Amino acid sequence: MSYEHVGSVTQELRQSLEAEHARQDQSLMMIGSENIASSAVREAQGSMLTNRNVLGYPDSRLYPGADSMDAIESFAIQCAKDLWDADHVNVQPHSGSLANLAVYLAVLDPGDSILALDPRDGGHITHGDDRHITSDLYETFYYHVDPATGQLDYEEIADRAKAVDPDLIISGYSAYPGEIDWARFRTITDAVDAFHLADIAHIAGIIAAGEYPSPVAHADFCTGSRYKTIRAGRGGFILCDQQYPDVVDTALFLYLQGGAALPNIAGKAVGFAEALRPEFQTYIQRTVTSAKALATRLSESGIDVVANGTKTHIVVINLQTSHPDLTGSEAERALEDARIVANKITVPTDPRHPSGASGIRFGTSCLASRGLGPEEMETVADLIVRALNAATDPEERNRIAQNVAALCHQYPISDTEA
């Protein structure tokens, strides 16, 4: 892409776009929440739809001239229903965060209580973190993973639920590599008469492909982001049971959001339609088998892999045993220098302070979208270990960066059309 139209307005911005393009092309992008949208998704997102201001839902818009918009949004909704077997779908949330907020606003009153996984154990900031608006609006309580195993402890969650008596319990996380027992959550929420929200932001694509259990039958609401494993561009979505469509839809529009972001809805329509094709399942299987291969190789190399492996696209490592002198931030910088991009994260055994992050979270979605598979993960794991060992050796990091660029060259981003 040449960005020539942008260049005719500002060369400075064009250069930044080109630099980012090159960076993506020549790095191992392993941020767990990222992916590579196809050209088709990007074409829809950059379309003439950006000229429209469309308020309301299909067939009940506030302004005229929305026939095509109705068709596009209805198409996205139908694809989502097919993908997740949901009764009702709202594709208008501008993000996964706002999808969560819409659900809270739909069913909770200020002062009601939420029980969710501690963000330091892999939960998301919108699940009641002190820095998020939810902590001002609602009373928020946390459950934890077992620090010894990195796994959810359902007994503890049930005990916490009884003690706290929350109005809403959230399952679904940002950095949890294990399998979630959604039915167990339903039992726990039923016992305390709470709503159950399953936040599938990360794993929506894996669920859609049938490679991870679906919470749809066990949750009142499911929320998600569209740019993670589902690979459908920017934005969020909400799935719900047929009991709730009106409260959810009115909480999102007009209470929380204004006009729909139609270019993004078109992007998601394309991404969802792609996800219904058999190629998508192949890509998801490649994503998950790659993550498993990566976890295995890292652990064979003496790295402590949290939860002992993965059932998703996410691999979390704990540096405390293999690299006690390296903080998460230092490891993140060493990796980035070697053109391996992944973020630091707190792990269950970290001291209870956000700056005490001593883990790194890797994701395999971008690599799988580019065509790398489990066979390449041995090489990728070895590059990661070399980079971690080279935190004080800039020359070695430089050599690794060259190896990374050579590997990336074999899997150009422009080939991710499927």
Ligand X SMILES: *Cc1c(COP(=O)(O)O)cnc(C)c1O
Q: Which of 35, 38, 45, 126 binds ligand X (CB under 6 A)?
A: 126
Binding flag, residue 202, ligand X (CB under 6 A): yes
Q: What is the C-alpha to C-alpha distance for residues 113 and 11, in angstroms, rounded to an integer?
A: 50
Q: What is the C-alpha to C-alpha distance for residues 9 and 16, in angstroms, rounded to an integer?
A: 13
Smallest distance from ligand X to CB 229, Å: 11
For ligand X, the closer CB: 251 or 381: 251
Identify residues 85-114 at the interface with ligand X (CB under 6 A): 95-97, 100
Is residue 294 within 8 A of residue 288, CB to CB? The reply is: no
For ligand X, the closer CB: 123 or 373: 123
Q: Which stretch, 16-24, 61-69, 196-204, 396-404, contacts ligand X (CB under 6 A)?
A: 196-204
β pairing state of 56-57 and 28-29: unpaired
For ligand X, the closer CB: 97 or 287: 97
Residue 61, token pair as written in the block: 């818009």
For ligand X, the closer CB: 198 or 404: 198
For ligand X, the closer CB: 166 or 236: 236
Binding flag, residue 296, ligand X (CB under 6 A): no
For ligand X, the closer CB: 173 or 244: 173
Is residue 37 within 8 A of residue 413, CB to CB? The reply is: no
For ligand X, the closer CB: 267 or 373: 267
Smallest distance from ligand X to CB 126, Å: 5
Q: Which stretch, 20-28, 139-147, 166-174, 403-411, contacts ligand X (CB under 6 A)?
A: 166-174
CA distances from 271 to 36, 85, 265, 280, 412 (A): 11, 17, 10, 10, 20
Residue with tokens 């009991």: 243
For ligand X, the closer CB: 251 or 404: 251
Smallest distance from ligand X to CB 125, Å: 8
Residue 14, token pair as written in the block: 């064009």
Q: Provide CB contacts within 8 A for 69, sequence distance 6+.
A: 49, 52, 54, 58, 61, 260, 262
Identify residues 18-77 at the interface with ligand X (CB under 6 A): 33
Smallest distance from ligand X to CB 307, Å: 16
Smallest distance from ligand X to CB 268, Å: 12
Is residue 379 within 8 A of residue 407, CB to CB? The reply is: yes
Binding mask 213-242 for ligand X (x = CB under 6 A): ------------x----------x------
Q: Which stretch, 133-141, 170-178, 239-247, 264-272, contacts ligand X (CB under 6 A)?
A: 170-178
CA distances from 126 to 101, 117, 153, 197, 310 (A): 8, 11, 22, 12, 24
Smallest distance from ligand X to CB 11, Å: 31
For ligand X, the closer CB: 179 or 337: 179
Smallest distance from ligand X to CB 198, Å: 10
For ligand X, the closer CB: 235 or 373: 235
Backbone angles phi, psi at 197, to 5 degrees: -105, 125
Binding flag, residue 174, ligand X (CB under 6 A): yes
Q: Quick count: other Cβ atoms within 10 Å of Cβ 166?
A: 24
Question: Can you count the helices (H) and strands (E) in the chain?
Answer: 17, 15
Q: Under rule CB under 6 A, how many of the chain's residues touch ligand X?
A: 15
Binding flag, residue 124, ligand X (CB under 6 A): yes
Smallest distance from ligand X to CB 331, Å: 21
Q: What is the C-alpha to C-alpha distance for residues 264 and 49, in angstroms, rounded to an integer?
A: 9
Smallest distance from ligand X to CB 150, Å: 17
Smallest distance from ligand X to CB 224, Å: 8
Binding flag, residue 172, ligand X (CB under 6 A): yes
Smallest distance from ligand X to CB 238, Å: 12
Closest residue (Cβ) to ligand X? 96
Closest-CA residue to 228 (of 357, 99, 78): 99
Q: Provide CB contacts within 8 A for 325, sequence distance 6+.
A: none
Give long-range contacts, CB 8 A cutoff, 24+ apart: 68-75.
Answer: 69/260, 69/262, 72/262, 72/265, 72/266, 72/269, 73/260, 73/262, 73/265, 73/269, 75/269, 75/273
For ligand X, the closer CB: 100 or 257: 100
Please name the helix (run of DSSP H) or strand (run of DSSP E) that holds residue 88, with its range, or none: strand 88-90
Q: Which residues bind ligand X (CB under 6 A)?
A: 33, 95-97, 100, 124, 126, 172-174, 199, 201-202, 225, 236
